[in-house]
Homo-oligomer: A and B are copies of this chain.
Amino acid sequence: MNFDFNEIDSIINARSLAIIGASAKPMKFGSLYTLSQMAYGFSGELYLVNSNESEIAGRPVYPDLKSLPESPELVYITIPATGSIDVLRECAEIGVKGVVILASGFREAGEEGRRLEEEALGIARAGGFRIIGPNCFGIYNPRNGLTLLPGYDFSKQAGGFAFLSQSGGFSAHVGRLCKGLNIGLSAIVSYGNGADVDESDLLLYFAEDPQTNIIGAYLEGVADGRRFLKALKQAASRKTVIVWKVGRSAPSRRAVASHTGSLAGSSNIWQGILEQAGAIDASGVEELCDVVLAVDLLGRKPGRSLMLAGGGGGLGTYGADLAEAEGLAVPPLDDDALQRARTILSQAGAAVGNPMDIGAPLVPLPLFEAAMREAAGQGNSDILVFDMALNFAYGLGGEQGLEGASDILIEIRKETDKPVVVVLYSRADSSEDLALEGVLRRQREKLLGGGIPVYPSMSRALRAISLANR
């Protein structure tokens, strides 16, 4: 199929939705999806369809698509694969824009499944609508209140990050992580086997979509290599594109085949392909979201020269080693700055330089502010990275002390326009220590809201900065 922006747009921004197989019975995809979508709150018309149920949580349930008062733009099919063909025929009859098929049991399941998938595709082509999936978790779009399985509590706030994924599990994982990281999403599309709408369509769509400025993709294989390369280049020339490609090893390719029936393709060429297209090559859900956060708050290519600061000398020694390994620089302070900083941090235990050890994780706030202003003022560094040892700082100043330090960093970030990154790790790991995890999360939310990316370790912070510069 040729790419058509409006076709895909009418699915992602659908104004009416029907759920086939809507159910209130537990442990079924149908009920999980129905309850998720109802809890999240679709902003358009939502129709529940199931010939065996008549009411779900006070809402009427229609026996079939033809009984609905209107033709819905989008239809989610939550019933098993074999029943989906009849539903697709109904969709063609009443005229819909798009269908999402959640069920597995298609191409990835062998010859019979492949025939089923081809039949489904034929009905969609003839009926003039597009398919997302099968073998997927669906679409999340906070603008129209559409959500995927099981995104009942995803963020309501839209942003500029779009994620497309062959894995439903990773789609849900990214949605949840982004909520915690305050990364606004334009949409998540879990497209599974990609029988119809595939990665190339979605890349081209988000490249044009005015709401989106960063595109992330989890790929197992690509349907059409040449078309994909063209779409990737086009998307990366307009937006930041971050790709996580699996299936690079032989056992992974076996798993890919049985997961989405994709051909993972030759493994070694991927790095070259992504580099050539100007896309960022990431690995894993966490790393992908880490880079999105960096690009979102620091910008693309924020610079490779760091000013490292923190309370505790070990942080700097380790940070500097990691920086070198990531191709980042930690330039020495110039003599004037060194003199000024020494006057500020004159107490025992502080070690002035780059890395800068302020002596303790939380020194009195006026001193902290003066030292951080000096560190942020370094002309030879692009980014100030501050390591905030949560447990210590909390011990020294309580949550109030931490909040004061966060406020200062946020103020400096706003006033000076110098990018600031905070490392905020927890040493609270036992179930008795849950309260401190709450402190950590509140601090992180505060810093993120102030435009400061927060990472749980120095290594993840520096890796994200390094990748944002690719």
Binding site for B on A (CB under 8 A): 27, 32, 80-81, 103-105, 108-109, 150, 165-170, 172-173, 176-177, 179-181, 218, 220, 246-252, 254-256, 258-260, 283-284, 286, 308, 312-325, 330-332, 348-349, 351-355, 357, 361, 389, 391-392, 395-396, 427-431, 433-434, 437-438, 441-442, 445, 457-459
Contacts and interface: CB of A to CB of B under 8 A. Distances in A.
Contacts of A315: 169
B249 A321 contact: yes
A312 B167 contact: yes
A66 to B, nearest CB: 27
Contacts of A353: 254-255, 258
B247 A321 contact: yes
A320 B351 contact: no
Contact of A428 (B180, B320, B355, B429): B180
A322 to B, nearest CB: 8
Contact of A316 (B104, B259, B355, B434): B259
Most chain B CB inside 10 Å of its own CB: which residue of A254, A395, A429? A429
17 contacts: A169-B313, A169-B392, A170-B314, A176-B391, A176-B427, A176-B428, A246-B318, A247-B321, A248-B321, A249-B324, A250-B324, A254-B353, A255-B313, A259-B316, A430-B441, A434-B437, A434-B441
A456 to B, nearest CB: 9
Given A169-B392, A430-B441, A441-B434, A317 B357 contact: no
A351 B252 CA distance: 13
B445 A431 contact: yes
A249 B330 CA distance: 10
A180 B312 CA distance: 22
Contact of A430 (B180, B259, B348): B180
A7 to B, nearest CB: 27
**Nearest 8 A/B pairs, CB to CB:** A180-B429, A167-B314, A259-B313, A252-B320, A249-B324, A258-B351, A176-B427, A169-B312
A323 B172 CA distance: 24
Nearest to A180: B429
Quickly give the copy total for this chain: 2
Contact of A249 (B256, B323, B428): B323
Contacts of A284: 318, 457-459
A395 B312 contact: no
A259 B351 contact: yes
A105 B431 contact: no
Given A332-B254, A429-B179, A317 B348 contact: no
Contacts of A166: 314
Nearest to A434: B438
A351 B392 CA distance: 47
Contacts of A259: 313-314, 316-317, 351, 357
A79 to B, nearest CB: 11
A105 B348 contact: yes
Contacts of A80: 348
Nearest to A248: B321
Contacts of A433: 180
Contact of A431 (B317, B324, B389, B438): B438
Given A105-B349, A169-B361, A250-B320, 13 more contacts: A27-B396, A80-B348, A167-B313, A168-B312, A176-B428, A180-B427, A220-B314, A249-B320, A252-B319, A255-B317, A256-B317, A259-B316, A283-B321
A429 B176 contact: yes
Nearest to A109: B348
Nearest to A314: B167
A172 B428 CA distance: 11
Given A348-B105, A395-B32, A318 B252 contact: yes
A292 to B, nearest CB: 14
Contact of A314 (B169, B177, B254): B169
B427 A317 contact: no
A109 B352 CA distance: 11
